[in-house]
Amino acid sequence: MSLLSPTQGWYYKKVSKDEKMWMLIALVLCIMLFIWMVMWHVYGKQNPSSITYKTSTTEFTQLAEAYVKKNMIGVDNGIPVVRPEPNSDVFVMGEMWRWSPVLVLEVNQYYKMHISSKDVMHGFSIQPVNMNFQVYPAYDYVLEFKPTEAGEYKVICNEFCGIGHHGMIGKIVVIEKNEDLKKYGYENFKKATASTATNGEAKQDVSEADKVLLGEQVFTLKGCGACHKVDGTVLIGPSWKGLYGKEEKVKENGKVISVKVDDDYIKESILNPSKKITVGFETTAMPAMPMTDEEIENIFAYIKSLK
C-alpha cells in the first residue's frame, strides 16, 4: 500500500509494455493451472471420493462396534485391531482422543472405508503419505482405499480437538502375507469363547475368566482406554488398576464425600457419570456410556481383575 496518494488522472494513463507482459504471463499461468487442476483430478487420481452419507452418532457407533466384533483379531494399547476381508466395508470412528480400530489391510486390495466422529470435528491424516480428510460427527465419509505399499502408517488428528489432541494417533498396518502379523504380535490374541444368547436361545454359562476377557473387549470397543489406563498411570480419568474396593473422594451436589468403588458405584458412573465426579477430574466431563446389563457385569469382572 502506497504512503502517498497517486497523482490525479493516473487511471487513464497507458499501461507500459513491461506491465502488459507481466499481466499476460500471469493470465497464461492462471489458465494453465486451471487446466492442470482438472487433469490432476481426472488423470492424477489425487482427489478422494466424494461419497458422503448423513447418519447419526448412535447409528454409526452401532455399525462400527458390530464391525469390530466381527473382525477383531487383537488389541493394541487398548485399541481393537481388526483385519477385514478385501473388497469389504471398513469402519473407523474418531473420538476424543483416539482413532478406533487399528486396521490390518492387505497390500494391493481395495477397501471401502467409512469414517465418522463421535463428538467433534477431527482431521484424518495418514502419514507419511500425507493424505488428509475432514471427519464430521453425524456424517459418514466414504473413502475408496487401496494400499499399495506394505508397512505401518500413523493416523494423526490434524484438527485441534481438545486437551488430548496431541495423543490422538491411530494406526494402519498393511501386510503382504499372514506371517507379517507376528511383527506386531496380533496373532496371539485370545478371545473369550462365551457368547451372548440371541433369537430366544438359552444363554450359555460364562466363566469368571471369560467375563474378564469380555470386559476387556467392552473396555476396548467403548473407547474407555481414551481416558482410563489400566497400568496405574493417570491419563484423563482415574486409572482402573487397583480401583475396585478403593475409597474415592467424589463431588456430589457440590459437596465432597467418600465412596467405596463397588458394583453399584461403577454402574452409576457408567450410566450417570455427572452425578458423582472424582475429585481431581472435575474439568474433564465423562460422557454417558450406553451399555447393556451384561456388558456392565463384564466391566465389573475386568476392573476386579486389575489388582
Q: What's the pLDDT tens digit per position in 281-290?
A: 887 777 777 7
Q: Which CATH class is domain 51-188?
A: mainly beta
The arithmetic mean of pLDDT across residues 175-180, rounded, is 85
Least confident of 84-98, 176-190, 199-213: 199-213
Dihedral angle sign, alpha carbons of residues 154, 159, 163, 166: positive
The amino acid present at 80, given as its one-letter code, is P
- Find the distance separating the first CA and the last CA of the chain, reported in whole Å: 69
Query: pTM of the predicted model, to two decimals?
Result: 0.60
**Looking at the domain that runs over 208-305, which CATH code has it been given?**
1.10.760.10
Burial of 163 by CB count in 10 Å (0-12 exposed, 13-18 middle, 19+ buried)?
A: exposed
Q: What is the pLDDT of residue 205?
A: 61
Q: What is the pLDDT of residue 30?
A: 95
Cα–Cα distance for residue pair 115/125, rounded to 1 Å: 12
Domain residue spans in the chain?
51-188, 208-305
At residue 103, φ and ψ (nearest 5 deg) are: -100, 130
CA-to-CA separations, 254 to 237, 250, 281, in angstroms, rounded: 19, 9, 14
Is the per-residue pLDDT at 197 higher than 50?
no
- Same fold across 51-188 and 208-305: no
Cα–Cα distance for residue pair 99/59, rounded to 1 Å: 18
Q: What is the pLDDT of residue 174?
A: 92
Q: What is the pLDDT of residue 184?
A: 76
Q: How many CA atoms within 13 Å lie on the side-chain side of 40?
A: 9
